Amino acid sequence: MALSPQTIAELAEHLETCQLEVRDTPKITNDHPDMDWDDAYAIQDVILQRKLARGARVVGLKAGLTSHAKMKQMGVTDPVFGFLVDEYVVSEGATVNTAELIHPKVEPEIAFVLKHALKGPGCHIGAVLAATDFVMPGIEVIDSRYRDFKFDLKSVVADNTSAARFVVGGQAIRPDQVDLRTVGVVLEKNGQPVALGAGAAVLGHPAAAIAMLANHLGRRGQEIPAGSLILSGGVTEAVVVNAGDNVTLRVQGMGSVSLCFA
């Protein structure tokens, strides 16, 4: 690791304060160009510890930057992983207050819920499908704390991969009831389709994102616990939303899920 524990704690406090006070910041690698991957995940961990100390509950995990559309949009090359806590949860059809967010965007995602734990290394899509209880549509609302969403991979990892809000809904189905590669995904804003894709946009198969997460955690001696909900990553590029927008995600054979912004 290149950063001292004190610097890691300060950067975590800085990024979390930006989230809570709804203000942006230049990416942290500007001032800390030597920051390494372990530092980045350590900053993310300190943000989680700060939330847990205030009574937050972990409700799941997320993979991000798992599709070429997202990697191209953000100018990066590798997936990243983050945590989901109860303060991010929005119920189906609810209204998200944009005054609590800096510059939100929405992403169409496939959410996995596990019946068994998954542990890497060596986790593959077969193991993921065997451990999956059901899959369902999810909309992730991302809100990078970095000015104009301009970041590099380490900065975005430290910022808990821009996590801000998410909703899951529609119809939960068993993973053997759907071909997750060919399943069609339509994201609508105010009744107009604004982003379209198929599941294979996510690393060839959305379950590959879950396997990658298990392998990432395995390297750190951790696993994905049974019962976890995991967002597998945006199928398409993210779409800007503003107060007054209504967003609906339709996933073939899995119904739809909606959010409003006020």
Give me the residues that bind Mg ion (CB under 5 A), please: 64, 107, 140, 234
The reply on whether position 108 binds ligand OOG by CB under 6 A is no
Footprint (CB under 6 A) of ligand OOG, residues 129-188: 140, 142, 144, 149, 156, 161-162
Footprint (CB under 6 A) of ligand OOG, residues 59-88: 64-66, 70, 74
- Judged by beta carbon, residue 137 or residue 234, the one nearer Mg ion is 234
Q: Shortest Cβ distance from residue 229 to ligand OOG (Å)?
A: 14
Give the chain as a 3 state SS string: CCCCHHHHHHHHHHHHHHHHHCCCECCHHHCCCCCCHHHHHHHHHHHHHHHHHCCCCEEEEEEECCEHHHHHHHCCCCCEEEEEEHHHECCCCCEECHHHCCCCEEEEEEEEEECCCECCCCCCHHHHHHHEEEEEEEEEEECCCEHHHCCCHHHHHHCHHHEEEEEECCCCECHHHCCCCCCEEEEEECCEEEEEEEHHHECCCHHHHHHHHHHHHHHCCCCECCCCEEECCCCCCCEECCCCCEEEEEECCCCEEEEEEC
- Judged by beta carbon, residue 106 or residue 217, the one nearer ligand OOG is 106
Q: Of these partners, ligand OOG, Mg ion, none, which one is at the site of residue 162 (CB under 5 to 8 Å by kind)?
A: ligand OOG
The reply on whether position 44 binds ligand OOG by CB under 6 A is no
The reply on whether position 7 binds ligand OOG by CB under 6 A is no
- Judged by beta carbon, residue 10 or residue 258, the one nearer Mg ion is 258
Footprint on this chain of ligand OOG (rule: CB under 6 A): 64-66, 70, 74, 107, 140, 142, 144, 149, 156, 161-162, 233-234, 238
